[in-house]
Amino acid sequence: MAREYWKPANLLYPIPAVLVSAVDAEGRSNVMTAAWAGTVCSDPVMVSVSIRKSRYTHELISSSGEFVLSLTTEDLARAADYCGVKSGRDVDKFAAMHLHPSPSRIVKAPGVAESPVCLECKVTRVLELGSHDMFVAEVVSTDVDPQYLDEKGRFDLDRAHLIAYSHGGYFALGDCLGRFGYSVRKAKPLGEKARAQKKRHAAASKHKAKSRTKGTRRRKAKNAKRKTQKRKHSYPH
């Protein structure tokens, strides 16, 4: 179908909805939600977050040169929304949303204890772009919740149930469709365990069309698939 050409619109989705915390000169902390945020460099590890000049957090980051980004999860969705709507000039959002400050290692601003990952950041540049100023910052410490370390000591972020922001809505993450590099990875010969699993799945799929428990079986198959997929954390960029 032919394209429709529209005027410029903010339609780059899905994006993260991160909690941005910062402190004032007296050490009082505030937290807001930002969706105009992302990774901008791998080495050194750098992020950017764009914030309107009018926001209280803009003032705090401009003065302190520091902030913390905390990832949001399904359990934090309501808090993420609230912290994006309310101003820290009017309300203590940590208290209102029952969030707990998590001490940082290097910067003064705390992270959010309920978040699986807090990135401590130091501003290196500020770009005045228009409605928003972009704070470009170096990540100086990565503070993680050890409950997401698996039995082999790998950080299993999938278990944290992160959320994404897309066109006005907060979304849970659904099925994993593949891991980085899967489109060019050759299938490995299956081990005994995987062969048995494949046989079970094949038997199960015969009844798929008739089955009333299709949803459950699909979820099980998905989880089994996830486990057998090679966990290689590379990033396309």
Q: Is 221 in the site for its own copies (CB under 8 A)?
A: no
> What residues between 55 and 84 interact with its own copies by CB under 8 A?
69, 71, 74, 77-82, 84
10-18, 59-67, 188-196, 197-205 -> range binding its own copies (CB under 8 A): 10-18
Q: Is 11 in the site for its own copies (CB under 8 A)?
A: yes
Smallest distance from its own copies to CB 192, Å: 26
Q: Is 201 in the site for its own copies (CB under 8 A)?
A: no
Contacts with its own copies, 96-135, as mask; x by CB under 8 A: ------xx-x-----x-----xxx-----x-x-xxxx-x-
Interface with its own copies (CB under 8 A), residue from 28, 41, 199, 223: 41
Residue 26 or 30: which CB sits closer to its own copies?
30
What is the maximal distance between C-alpha atoms in the chain?
Answer: 66
Smallest distance from its own copies to CB 200, Å: 20
CA dist., res. 193 & res. 187, Å (int): 16
Smallest distance from its own copies to CB 61, Å: 14
| Structure-block tokens of residue 10 | 């903010």
Bridge partners of 122, per DSSP, are 66, 138
Residue 94 or 170: which CB sits closer to its own copies?
170
Q: Is 90 in the site for its own copies (CB under 8 A)?
A: no
Q: Is 170 in the site for its own copies (CB under 8 A)?
A: yes
Q: Is 6 in the site for its own copies (CB under 8 A)?
A: yes
CA dist., res. 147 & res. 155, Å (int): 9
Nearest residue to 70 via CA among 144, 157, 12: 144
Residues near 67 by Cβ (< 8 Å), separated by ≥ 6?
20, 21, 22, 49, 57, 60, 61, 107, 109, 121, 123, 135, 137
CA dist., res. 37 & res. 72, Å (int): 13
Backbone angles phi, psi at 74, to 5 degrees: -55, -40
Smallest distance from its own copies to CB 201, Å: 18
- DSSP string of 125-145, one letter each residue: EEEE-SSEEEEEEEEEEEEE-
Smallest distance from its own copies to CB 46, Å: 6
Q: Is 141 in the site for its own copies (CB under 8 A)?
A: yes
